[in-house]
Structure 1
Amino acid sequence: MTADGAVDLPQDPVVVLGGGLAGVACAHALGDAGEPVVLVDRNDYHQFQPLLYQVATSQLPAEDVARPHRVIFHKHPTVRVLTAEAVAVDAAAHRVTLGDGTEVAGSHLVLAAGAQPEFFGVPGAAEHAFPLYSVVDAERLRRHLHGLVREHAHAPGTKDAPEPPPGTLDVVVVGGGPTGVETAGAVAELMAALTRTGRLAAPARVVLVDRGTVLLAPFTDAAHHYAHGHLTSVGVEVRLGTGVAAVHAERVELDDGTAIPTRTVVWGGGESAAPIVLGAGVPTGRGGRVDVAADLSVPGLPGVYAVGDAANIPGPDGRTLPQLGSVAQQSGRAAGANVLRERRGVPTEPFRYKDKGIMAMIGRNAAVAEVGHRHHTVEGPVAFAAWLGVHAMLLSGAHSKTDAFLSWAWDYFDRDHSALVEMTDAPHRIAWEDTTADVPHIDPGA
């Protein structure tokens, strides 16, 4: 801060809006080169979205999937992080206005504001469903499930809990993509563990609903069948070709005319760009995302780039790349490299996505992975091990990696571990000596 209270910012910086996978990767690329960067994000942490469902089902503490920006960039003195709400963007001027009226502008602007849940106009979905797109979302869902289970579970060795009203503990998961499949599998295994340990008289009903004809649509037919078979085997009721007509506080209505009593609807039915992008004066396309050129720049707006879930990024075949973590990270690094080229007077280069495959966890010892650009299918224990390794390595920070490995090992060798955590409190991190600096400020009530 300066003497008059204004924000002390570097001269002519690159302004990066959003501190997710794409924004952090972009700031890293520029910070490594010693370029001045101002990264703006409402949260003081970077979150790892692929593991949010594990936070929601008490498998991992929220702190393990959210690492403070100040820790990430502590070795990058040219990267300044501003924890503030962006209320307006003037892309042509490379300017971001913050909630307190402060304006941040620079030589370039990189839009990496991420995504928000897309409810497709379904009545009641925004009010009553639980989306799973942020750490705050995951914590809200975890606390909701925790409260329901604690209220209606039996005490150990007794059967003194009153019978809950129909649907009280039942869960409906909307969406047959990785988020929906992984969440449905994790919830079903949690409910089964609560039943095995005598906390529930019978496992709660878990229903997965999707308008499509298969689960994990981007995967191969073998993966479709494997995912469907495993979810069914652990008690998930899969209803395909069916959409949600309305969501209420204690039931969900489907478009086939049926209704399911439930107080928990998990929404994994789609996403769109963050609202801040829509008012930035940039051309948008599908999902409200920014349509970008091959080098990730925004046509007609020199010095402006869009990456990650905020952008429609063309692939080598001309089709838009999916909203994946690997796409976000690679596009963020590539945009940073192109900004660096422009600042040094060198022509930009087109973004070339390196397709390393896709994977999804379906349950304990069960996963599907399609490896390499040819998407060779692997399933079962081998894919499960690969999923664990890849996601642990993608976590930011040694503490998070270690905690995740230990938590997963505990879950693997003790099938009832998640039930024990659910009946006590949230999972906790190891008490690292420097844990204070490595803990994000997560407010589930935000």
Structure 2
Amino acid sequence: MEKSFQVIVVGGGFAGVAAVKALGRQGVKVLLVDQNNYHQFQPLLYQVATAQIGVSDVTRTFRGMFQRYRSASVVTAKVVAVDVHAHTVTTADGDTFHAQILVLAAGAEANYFNTPGAEEHAYPLYSVPDAVRLGNDLVRALDAAHRGGSDGGGIHVVVVGGGPTGVETAGAIAENFKYVIPKYFSQELAARSSVHLVDMVPSVLNAFSDKSKAYATSHLQAAGVRLKMGQGVTEVRPDGVAFADGTTLPAQLVIWAGGLKAGAVVAQSGLQQGRGGRIDVNPDLTAPNTTGIYVLGDAANMTDARGAKLPQLGSCAQQAGKWAARNIHADLTGGTRTPFAYVDKGYMAMIGRGAAVAEIGPKRFQVQGPLAFLAWLGVHVVLLSGNRQRISAVISWADDYLSHSRSHVVLGSPTK
């Protein structure tokens, strides 16, 4: 039986959650559909993988988030089809839901750019299961190398992608090798281990200023990260990666931080796709040539009033969710939609212990070092979804900073 709502939101990322909350405050009958029953804080998944914080620090149940909004409902199910003309959503359970307005905020998935072997052998880092799997297999590899004793090899990790996710992941793993392996395993194993950061572009953090790039490069290298920039990865193998220049790097683990594309729900929606498989939305966040369809977050290519492309950032998605809710309320009440006015808060990237880069605001006020590190912590504390998550993350960060403790390591069953 088809069930009807005023609004259905597909996907519970930053944009989807913000939209549901804003609509719930207005008393709009809204349904969120997501394959998980929790919201995940994607920017910190690399810290889950490196055991700096726990899974509970980056997740919060949707029902817990929406319990104060009586008009908001949640269905935990995988969406297998969206009809943008009939305004229906069909789940893998066979249920169909109808709404006056659909919001597609289904997020993104790893974009391997058709690189041979990447999907089969590389570790993406865009979901909680991804982070747990990577963390588990990293510890298993360390255990195996440690059992080999002084005659064994070390652990070699390649991170593909020199953007913020790749930089933060490589930096965190390098610090584990530098500080944590000697504490939990041995100094000899640490000395035999390595982490490489690779990308086809000539420098890390390509969207940042030259000053930030230079700072990040210097601190990554000081932490032990080996950089191979300006050479594209042509193949990911079970034992490493190959490059366009004919060279190879051996690795037990290859982490893919090389880019994102819109998920299957958007790809199969029938909407015309643009760069990264995302939908080039109108200034008011609606999909072109449709009625009552909004596309948000990593599923959308958004622009500001001047036509400049907006970043694929959590803060941008969150703002878009709130703005879309305002326009949806106007649709439902006979009002007028307005173009999305993004408040540019800038860019940040954590490099390592006490080191970060931040380019704040539309004029890109630049900060490096401990001050940027504190700013990064502050921004992420604010963006976390609940007070318990904020408190727990701060305690975990303090414990990690002072002691390099890794109490969050939890091994599950083998995954690869």
2:113 to 91, 108, 120: 120
Equivalent of 1:272, from 261, 270, 290?
261
Contact 2:305/2:339, CA 8 A, preserved across alignment? no
Tell me the TM-score normalised to structure 2 length: 0.96
Alignment partner, residue 83 of structure 2: 90
Task: Choose the corresponding residue for 1:258, options 234, 244, 247.
Answer: 247
| Structure 1 partner of 2:345 | 356
C-alpha distance 101-411 of structure 1, shift in aligned 2 (>3 A): same
Of 332, 344, 349, the match for 1:343:
332
Q: Residues 4-63 of structure 1, C-alpha deviation per residue, up to 9 Å, x if partnerless?
A: xx68x5x53201010111100111110010000011000000011110110000001112
CA-CA distance at 1:213 after TM superposition? 1.4
- SS in structure 2 of the partner of residue 297 of structure 1: coil
Residue-by-residue CA offset, 1:364-419 (whole Å, 9 max, x unaligned): 000001111111000100000111111011111111101100011111112x323x
2:410 is aligned, of 420, 423, 426, to 426
1:187 paired residue among 147, 163, 173: 173
Instruction: Report 1:203-214 matches (<5 A).
Output: 203=191, 204-214=193-203
Contact 2:146–2:152, Cα closer than 8 Å, also in 1: no
Partners of 2:291 and 2:337 in 1: CA distance: 12
SS at match of 2:132: helix
Whether 1:231 aligns to 2:224 is no
Q: Please tell me whether the aligned partners of residues 250 and 263 of structure 1 are also in contact (alpha carbons under 8 angstroms).
A: yes
**Equivalent of residue 402 in structure 1, options 391, 394, 402:** 391
Q: CA deviation at 1:86?
A: 0.5
Amino acid at match of 1:178: P
Are 1:17 and 1:40, in contact at CA under 8 Å, matched by a contact in 2? Answer: yes
Q: Which residue of 2 aligns with 1:161?
A: 149
Paired with 2:54 and 2:413, the residues of 1 have a C-alpha distance of 14
Structure 1 unmatched ranges of 5 or more: 1-5, 155-159, 428-441
**Aligned equivalent of 1:417:** 405
Q: Does structure 1 residue 312 correspond to structure 2 residue 301?
A: yes
List per-residue Cα deviations over 1:185-241 (Å, max 9, x = no partner). Answer: 000000111343272313311100011112111111110000000000011001110
Shift of residue 358 of structure 1?
A: 1.1
**Number of matched pairs:** 413
Q: CA deviation at 1:161?
A: 2.7
Quote how far apart the aligned CAs of 1:314 are: 1.1
Contact kept in structure 1, 2:160 and 2:166, CA below 8 Å: yes
Superposition TM-score, scaled by structure 1 size: 0.89
Report the counterpart of residue 247 of structure 1 in structure 2: 236
Q: Partner letter of residue 59 of structure 2?
A: A
Task: Report percent identity of matched pairs.
Answer: 47
Counterpart position of 1:172? 158
Residue 153 of structure 1 aligns to a residue in which SS? helix
1 CA distance for matches of 2:413 and 2:333? 41
Q: Which amino acid aligns with 1:14?
A: V
- For 2:414 and 2:304, the matched residues in 1 are separated by 36
Asked whether 1:35 is paired with 2:28, we answer yes
Q: Name 1:382's counterpart in structure 2.
A: 371
1:143-154 to 2 correspondences below 5 Å: 143-153=136-146
